[in-house]
Structures are given as C-alpha cells and as structure tokens.
Chain A
Amino acid sequence: MKRAALVIGLVLVAGTVLTALLSLAWTPYDPLAVVPANRLMGPGPGHWLGTDGYGIDLLSRIMVGARIAVLVGVVAVAIAALVGVPLGILAGTAAKAERWPRLVADVVMRGNDILYAFPAMLLAILLAAVLGGSTATAMIAIGVANIPPFLRVARAATLQVSVSDFVTAARGAGIGRFGIAVRHVLPNIAPVVAVQASLAFGMSILSEAALSYLGLSTPLPTPTWGRMLNEAQPYAWSDPLLAVWPGLAIGLAVLGFNLLGDGLRDLLDPRLRESVQ
C-alpha cells in the first residue's frame, strides 16, 4: 500500500517532468498561435483537450505550462534548500555549544520564526511590486518563503544525529565541528531533506499557479497553468473544461510530489531510525 503511493507519486512526477521536457522539442500546435476559427472547440481528434477562447490548442499550452511549473519548482526548492539546510545544521550543531555559537543559533532560529510567520503570498506580492512580475520573481519569492521548513527540518534532524555515538566518536577522533557537520551530519540527514524537498516541490507548483493567476509570475505571452485558470474564468459556465485542464494538471503534479514525499519518508524511515539510535 505504501509502495503504491510511492509508485503513483513517481509516475505523476515523471509525467510532469517529461511533459515539460517534451514541450521544449515538440508541442502538437504552436502554443501562441491564435486561430479565431477554431475558438472554444471541445476535446476531439484534432485538439485532444480542445481550444481556448482564442482558438489556441489547450494541450500545447498545458505542456508549456508544465515547463514553467517545473522550472520554478526546481529553482525555488534549490534556493530554499541551499539556504535552509546549512543554517539548520548550524543551528542544530551550535544548540549545545559554548556561548557565542549558541547565540548565533538562537538569532538564526528567531529570524526563521519571523520569516515563517510572514505569509508567503504577501512576500511574493511585495517582491513582485519591487522587482516586477517575472519568472525570477516567482522563483525567489517561493524559494525564500520555503526556507523556514527546510531550516526547521534540518535543525531537528541535526539535533537527533548529534547525540548519536558516531558523532561522539568522531569528536573523540579529533574531527572538528565543520568536518563533522559536512561529512557525518549532512549525509545522515539527507533522507529527511529529500522528503522535505519533494513536499516543498509540490507547494512551489501550487504557489506558482497562484502567483501567475494573479499575474505576478511569468509575463505574457508564455502560458502558465495559473494564467490559464485566470483566462478560463469568463468561460467558467459555458466551457468549464477550460478551467478543468489546468486545474487537473496542477492537482496531479502537486499530488504526485506529495505522494512521492510521503512514499520516500516511509521508505527511508527504518534506515533513519537505525542510523539515529
């Protein structure tokens, strides 16, 4: 049963990523070509998912939208992990240290709490107001908003690993604090970080959709799932399928990453318990 979740998650994630990659080389139609004669066609053999109010092929737009979703997800998770994990290890290692490193750790954690309390969407709107709406804005805003959970997860895992015998043994062998953090703590907390990354990826896709729905992400004319939802709004009653397709894409991608994250956690848990004992 747990395996099933992992497999479904993997399939959905792979589907999203492959679709994004495929869109770089091939889409059934030009995702920007306006063909008024074909507007609002239902799903059929020519256009599998139908066309929108401008007569643009929906499948092509969904495929290009996957590209933006995956790209923003990768960069945002990378930002969050690269900032959050080292700071989390630092805070976890210094939590039991002498005076000043512990002070640094406390400052880091309180800063993290403040950032956590700040609504991610507000942060994104602020950033977009300053930098203008762009793909980079979305990446940075979602990345920064995702730092706190990474930091917390990394710190908690570090605290857990730090009390294990092999860390004491490493200290007893003369390995310095930095060496222990990089060579012995980081590899041992990697599984938890991987789980967090998978969950954060799903959240990032959802956030990106919300930002581009509001027009704070990738500018026109590039199609994104969020913008497709926005554009489908006038046709919500007459042609609901226009909103269903991007909604389905968002839902499946987020579901995929969440299932993958949960599956990874179950898969890695026994090993994690063994290594932390």
Chain B
Amino acid sequence: MTPLLQVSDLRVSFGRPRREVLHGISFSIAPGQRVGLIGESGSGKSVTALAVLGLLSETAAVTGSIRLAVPDGDGPTGRQLEVTTATEKQLAALRGDAYSMIFQEPMTALDPTMKVGRQVGELLGLHGHRIPGGSRSRVLEMLREVDLPEVGRIADSYPHQLSGGQRQRVLIAMALVNDPVLTICDEPTTALDVTAQAKVLQVLDRHFTQRSAATLFITHDLAVLAGVVDVAMVMLEGHVVEAGPIREVLADPWHPYTKGLVATSRLELARPGERLPTVADHFDRSIPVQGLREVPVSWEHRARVPGRPGGGA
C-alpha cells in the first residue's frame, strides 16, 4: 500500500551560519497507522511536525524529501505531493482537509476575535465539501463528537470564555472536521491538567478508531503515548535513535536514551527516600548521537542504531 506520508533523509537547518536541527530522518506512515514520536524539548519533534505540512518559516532550509499522498473524495489517487518543493497553494489544498494538525497551545492557537463555532465552520467551507443540513449543524455535531457540553453555547463563545481543555477540544474539532486521513498531533495534551488530558486522549483515540485514520502523535510523555499509538520513534538531538512497536519499545528499550526515558517514567518503582532515577543514569550525553538510517514502512521489525549493541551505553 502507498504510504500516506513518506519522509526520507529530512534535514532542516536554521540561521546563519546554518545550524542543522534535523539530521536526516526517514520514516513513513501507512493509512490508518498510528505513529508516536517521542523526545525531549529541542529534540526536533515539532520541527518535524511543521515540516511535514510545509509550515516551517521561510528562514528554515529544508532538504530531503517529504511526500504526501494526494487523495480525492473517494480515496487515494496514487499521486504524491513533494512538500519541500510544493507551492503554498498546493499545500493549502491538503492542509486542514486530508492532512490536519492539532497544536500544542490551546490558549493561543484559536483566534481571540472570532467565536469558536465560526472558526470550526470556516474550515468546513474551505475545502468545498457539501454539508447536508448546513454547516451550523455540522459544527455542532463536531463539537458534540469531541465531548463538549452545551455545544450551542460553546459555539457562540469566544476562546477566552472557555477552559483550556475545552479550547483544546475545539482545536481537535477543527482538525477533524474534514475527516483527515492523517492528523499530526503536536503535544496536544501538554498544556492540560491530567483530567482534561485523559478526556482529550479518549476523544482522539475514539475518532482514529472509528475512521481508521492515521496519526503522527508527538509527545514527551511516554505514558500518554502508550494508550494512543501502535508504533513509536524515539527522537534525540535531531536523530531518530529507536523505532518499533510501542509495547516492545516500552518493555524492552534498546537505546540507552530510551532506557533512561522508560526508567524515569516509572516513578512508582522508586522507594521513598531514594534518589529518583534520571535519564543520565542510563545515557551518557557526551557520546555523539547516531541516528537510524531508515524506519521500515512495515514497522514490523524493530530498528536500532547500527553498530550499537542492544545493551548499555
């Protein structure tokens, strides 16, 4: 099957002199596949997400290839769009329609001057889908689908009148309203408290399951990832250092950095009075990071950095 998204040797650099922040990463996402991307702040997760939809600023230099499958109303057409060379117009036709993105910051990703119902509705009309029953009813239906209460009142509210969790669900409604085949979730729960986070994850999981839609789910939180994705990549300093089915990665991490991540996420194992585990216990930052050449399309096999034993650092 043609993958929805095919990234090969993606390199992104900023500034003058050029400083490379993504060092040639490669992976692909098949229809319906849920892929997690985990890494610490500054590891290049968000840059990857923005690059995939061509949203990086003009100051970014992008090399390599990012290919998005171009579907029409009925399904895949076999055509692919090369994002690195595409025009803004070609990209705009795909964004928010077949490919959508949920941003990290619910407080700032909504236009403060527009009622949220209109913001959801704006995207409905944008890609020329005909809506039976009118766009207002579709907007309310969508808000209901993300488990918002009193959808009529919320649709007529301005963003500042809603809570963080409600805003994030509005953003999710915006991202999902045109039934995308792939949704990029850039840390959608980071800004939320635990209750709101659980709600958001539940809504996303339900939608992806119902529509068998694919996702690239970005987070720094292993616990969040475990419930949402099938496979995961671990990112470190602009390299993908480990990839494979999420259960296996969590149960038996190969890369020392992943070992460290897993250890630090299991604080319940630490005894009171004992020093808490840190990533540094498992992973020596002074050793230069080496990345994976390729993450296989099938994701059936685990991949690891060549020349590095499965054992410790």
Which A residues have a C-beta under 8 Å from some C-beta of B?
96-98, 164-166, 168-177, 179, 183-184, 187-188, 190, 271, 274-275, 277
Contact = CB atoms under 8 A, between A and B. Distances in A.
A163 B97 CA distance: 23
10 contacts: A97-B58, A169-B103, A171-B92, A172-B101, A173-B95, A173-B123, A174-B127, A176-B92, A184-B114, A275-B113
Q: Size class of B's contact patch?
A: 20 to 34
Interface centre among B93, B100, B122, B127 (most CB of A within 10 A): B122
B171 interface: yes
A96 B58 contact: yes
A169 B57 contact: no
Interface in B79-125: 88-89, 91-97, 100-101, 103, 105, 107-114, 122-123
Interface of B: 53, 55, 57-58, 88-89, 91-97, 100-101, 103, 105, 107-114, 122-123, 126-127, 160, 171, 174-175
B108 A165 contact: yes
Q: Is the interface of A mostly helix, strand, loop or mixed?
A: helix
B94 A174 contact: yes
A174 B160 contact: no
Contacts of A171: 55, 92, 95
Interface centre among A169, A179, A184, A274 (most CB of B within 10 A): A169
A183 B115 CA distance: 12
Given A168-B55, A277-B108, A173 B126 contact: yes
Given A96-B57, A165-B109, A172-B101, 19 more contacts: A97-B58, A165-B108, A169-B109, A171-B55, A172-B53, A172-B55, A172-B103, A173-B174, A174-B91, A174-B93, A174-B94, A174-B123, A174-B127, A175-B96, A179-B126, A183-B111, A184-B113, A184-B114, A190-B113
A5 B49 CA distance: 48
A192 B254 CA distance: 55
A72 B160 CA distance: 39
B112 A165 contact: no
A188 B113 contact: yes
Contacts of B88: 176-177
A172 B100 contact: yes
A275 B108 CA distance: 7
Nearest to A171: B55
B100 A173 contact: yes
Nearest to B59: A96
Given A165-B105, A168-B55, A275 B112 contact: yes
Interface centre among B57, B97, B111, B126 (most CB of A within 10 A): B111
